[in-house]
C-alpha cells in the first residue's frame, strides 16, 4: 500500500528528493491533508465510471485521490519541473494522464474528446492556482464543455463573490457571470494550515453544478455580461447612472436607457446589486436594439 502523497512528511520527502522550490508566481500551495482531499473528492460525487479533469496537479496530492475514485484523470500542469515528479509519485496509477500545458491556452474540448471517449460523467476538480482562479473558471464555463460541474478550492473572498445572492455586498458581475451557467455553493471553508507553503488568504471549496440551460434566456449573452459589468462599475451609483456613463455613447442615449428600465419594470434609482439575474436578462434584451 502506498503512503498518500498529501501528508507533511511524504510531501517534504518528495520536495527534497527533487530539490523542488515553490514558485509563488504559479500559485503553488500544495495540499498536505488527506482528509481535506477526501472531502473535496466527496463533493464531486464521482463514480467508477466518471472522468475527472484536474488543473494544476502539483506533486499529485489531489490527482492520486481522484485516480482512486474515478475511471480516468487528465490533469493540466504548466510547470515543467513537476513532470518528472508526477511521473514518479503517480506511477502506481495507470488511469492518469498529465498534459504539460497552460490551462488558459488549452483546447479542453479537444482533450475531452481524445481522453474521455465513452465516459459520460465528467467533473473538473482542482485546487486552483490563486493568481488565475477567475479566468480559469470563466474559460471552462464559456467553453461550454460537456461537464457536470466544477469542484474547486480558491480564495474564500472569491468564493463569497461567486456564490453571492442579490442585495449582498459580495454580489456583482462575477456572481452573475458564473451563476448564469451554474448553481454555485460554498461547500467548505479551509484553514491555511493544510497547505505547504501556507497561503496569505483564507480558502474555500465551491461546487458549481451546470444548469441544463442558462438561468435566463437572452438574445445576446456577451451583451448581458457587458450590461452587468457596466451596472456594477461604481457600486454607489444608480443603475441608470452606471449604464449611461459606462455603455458606449450612453450619455446621449440616456432617454432610451430610461425607457428600457421602465419597460422592464426596473426603477432607475435602484443599484445594480439589487437586481436579480432574470432582471438583468430582461434589461439587456430591452437595451440591445439601442446599443448593438
Ligand atoms: N493540486 C495540487 C495540490 O492540491 O496540492 C497543487 C495545487 S497548486 C494550488 C496550483 C497548481 O497549478 C500548481 O501545481 C501550479 O504549477 C499549477 N498551475 C499554475 N498556473 C497554471 C496554469 N495556467 N495552467 C495549469 N496549471 C497551472
Give 121-157 pLDDT, tens digit per residue.
Answer: 999 999 999 999 999 999 999 999 999 999 999 999 9
Ligand 1 atom nearest to 76, measured from its CA: 25
Q: Is 104 annotated as a binding residue?
A: no
Give 97-112 pLDDT, tens digit per residue.
Answer: 999 999 999 999 999 9
Ligand 1 atom nearest to 29, measured from its CA: 9
Tell me the sheet residues that pair with 207: 151, 185
Question: Hey, which of 58, 82, 137, 198 would you mutate to test ligand 1's pocket, going by the most ligand atoms within 8 Å of its Cβ?
Answer: 58
- Residue 209 grid cell: 453544478
Question: Hey, which of 14, 41, 85, 129 would you mutate to test ligand 1's pocket, going by the most ligand atoms within 8 Å of its Cβ?
Answer: 129
- Convert the chain into a string of H (helix), E (strand) and C (coil): CCCCCCCHHHHHHHHHHHCCCCCHHHCCCEECCHHHHHHHHHHHCCCCCCEEEEECCCCCHHHHHHHHHCCEEEEEECCCCHHHHHHHHCCCCCCEEEEECCHHHCCHHHHHHHHCCCCCCEEEEEECCHHHHHHHHHHHHHCCCCCCEEEEEEEHHHHHHHCCCCCCCCCCHHHHHHHCCEEEEEEEEECHHHEECCCCCCEEEEEEEECCCCCCCCCCHHHHHHHHHHHCCCCCCCHHHHHHHHCCCCCCCHHHHHHHHHHCCCCCCCCHHHCCHHHHHHHHHHHHHHHC
Does 185 lie in the same domain as 284? Answer: no
- Decide: residue 106, CB within 10 A, 0-12 exposed, 13-18 middle, 19+ buried: middle
225 contacts 179 by C-beta, under 8 angstroms = no
Query: What predicted TM-score, i.e. pTM, was given to this entire model?
Result: 0.95
pLDDT on residue 2: 64
CATH number of the domain enclosing 26: 3.40.50.150
pLDDT on residue 76: 98
CA of 113 to the centre of ligand 1 (A): 23
Does 173 lie in the same domain as 260? Answer: no
CATH number of the domain enclosing 271: 1.10.8.100
What is the domain range of residue 285? 221-291
In a domain, 148, yes or no: yes
Does 77 lie in the same domain as 19? Answer: yes
In a domain, 3, yes or no: no
CA of 50 to the centre of ligand 1 (A): 22
Ligand 1 atom nearest to 6, measured from its CA: 5
Does 192 lie in the same domain as 118? Answer: yes
Pocket of ligand 1 contains residue 87 by CB under 6 Å: no
Q: Is 56 annotated as a binding residue?
A: yes
pLDDT on residue 153: 98
Low-confidence ranges of the chain (pLDDT < 70): 1-2
In a domain, 1, yes or no: no
Report the C-alpha gap between 181 and 175 in whole angstroms: 10
Give 245-260 pLDDT, tens digit per residue.
Answer: 999 999 999 999 999 9
Rounded (5°) CA angle 261-263-267: 40
In a domain, 216, yes or no: no
Q: Which residue's alpha carbon is at the smallest distance from atom 3 of ligand 1?
A: 30
pLDDT on residue 84: 98
Does 247 lie in the same domain as 189? Answer: no
**% of residues, the chain, pLDDT over 90:** 98
Does 229 lie in the same domain as 182? Answer: no
Pocket of ligand 1 contains residue 58 by CB under 6 Å: yes
Report the C-alpha gap between 279 and 143 in whole angstroms: 25
pLDDT on residue 1: 52
Does 226 lie in the same domain as 91? Answer: no
With the C-alpha atoms ordered 9, 14, 20, 24, is the resulting torsion angle positive or negative?
A: negative
Report the C-alpha gap between 152 and 158 in whole angstroms: 12
Amino acid at each position: 500500500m502506498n503512503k498518500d502523497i498529501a501528508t507533511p512528511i511524504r510531501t517534504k520527502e518528495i520536495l527534497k528528493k527533487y530539490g523542488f522550490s515553490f514558485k509563488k508566481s504559479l500559485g503553488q500551495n500544495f495540499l498536505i491533508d488527506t482528509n481535506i482531499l477526501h472531502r473535496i473528492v466527496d463533493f464531486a460525487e464521482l463514480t467508477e465510471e466518471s472522468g475527472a479533469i484536474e488543473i494544476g496537479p502539483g506533486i499529485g496530492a489531489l490527482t492520486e485521490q481522484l485516480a482512486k475514485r474515478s475511471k480516468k484523470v487528465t490533469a493540466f500542469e504548466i510547470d515543467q519541473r513537476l513532470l518528472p515528479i508526477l511521473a514518479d509519485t503517480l506511477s502506481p496509477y495507470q488511469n492518469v494522464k498529465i498534459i504539460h500545458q497552460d490551462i488558459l491556452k488549452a483546447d479542453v474540448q479537444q482533450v475531452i474528446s481524445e481522453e474521455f471517449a465513452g465516459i459520460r460523467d465528467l467533473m473538473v476538480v482542482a485546487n486552483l492556482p490563486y493568481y488565475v482562479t477567475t479566468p480559469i473558471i470563466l474559460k471552462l464555463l464559456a467553453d461550454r464543455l460537456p461537464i457536470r460541474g466544477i469542484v474547486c478550492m480558491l480564495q474564500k473572498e472569491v468564493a463569497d463573490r461567486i456564490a453571492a445572492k442579490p442585495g449582498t455586498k459580495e454580489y456583482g458581475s462575477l456572481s452573475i457571470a458564473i451563476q448564469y451557467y451554474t448553481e454555485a455553493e460554498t461547500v467548505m471553508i479551509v484553514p491555511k494550515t493544510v497547505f505547504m507553503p501556507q497561503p496569505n488568504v483564507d480558502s474555500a471549496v465551491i461546487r458549481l453544478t451546470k444548469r441544463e440551460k442558462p438561468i435566463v434566456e437572452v438574445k445576446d449573452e456577451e451583451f448581458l455580461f457587458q450590461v452587468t459589468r457596466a451596472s456594477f462599475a461604481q457600486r454607489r451609483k444608480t443603475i441608470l447612472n452606471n449604464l449611461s456613463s459606462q455603455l458606449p455613447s450612453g450619455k446621449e442615449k440616456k432617454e432610451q436607457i430610461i425607457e428600457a428600465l421602465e419597460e422592464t419594470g426596473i426603477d432607475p434609482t435602484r443599484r445594480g446589486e439589487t437586481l436579480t439575474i432574470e432582471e438583468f436578462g430582461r434589461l439587456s434584451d430591452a437595451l440591445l436594439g439601442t446599443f448593438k
